[in-house]
């Protein structure tokens, strides 16, 4: 396995792990601050927008390139 193959496999896995960890942090923050359903939904919506922007960027790169 060369460097490019390793990078092609490891990068999406590490990004998924980072997003999952950020999701745990947001959930813990919502729980500790007693944000309620609405506040928790807003927090996860904001995290989801960041993740969606990253996915859209990757799809656009794949379509253009």
Could you write out the three-class secondary structure of 18-58?
HHHHHHHHHHHHHHHCCCHHHHHHHHHHHHHHHHHHHHHHH
Q: What is the mean pLDDT of the chain?
A: 91
Q: What is the mean pLDDT of the segment spanning 12-33?
A: 92
pLDDT at 51 over 90: no
Query: In the chain, what percentage of residues exceed pLDDT 70?
Result: 100
Predicted confidence band of residue 55 (pLDDT cuts 50, 70, 90): confident
Its pTM stands at 0.73
pLDDT of 8 over the 90 cut: no
């Amino acid at each position: 396995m060369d460097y490019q193959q390793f990078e092609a496999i490891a990068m999406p896995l590490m990004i998924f792990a980072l997003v999952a960890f950020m999701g745990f942090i947001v959930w813990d923050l919502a729980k500790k601050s007693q944000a309620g359903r609405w506040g928790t939904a807003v927090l996860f919506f904001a995290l989801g927008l960041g993740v969606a922007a990253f996915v859209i960027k990757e799809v656009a790169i794949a379509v253009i390139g």
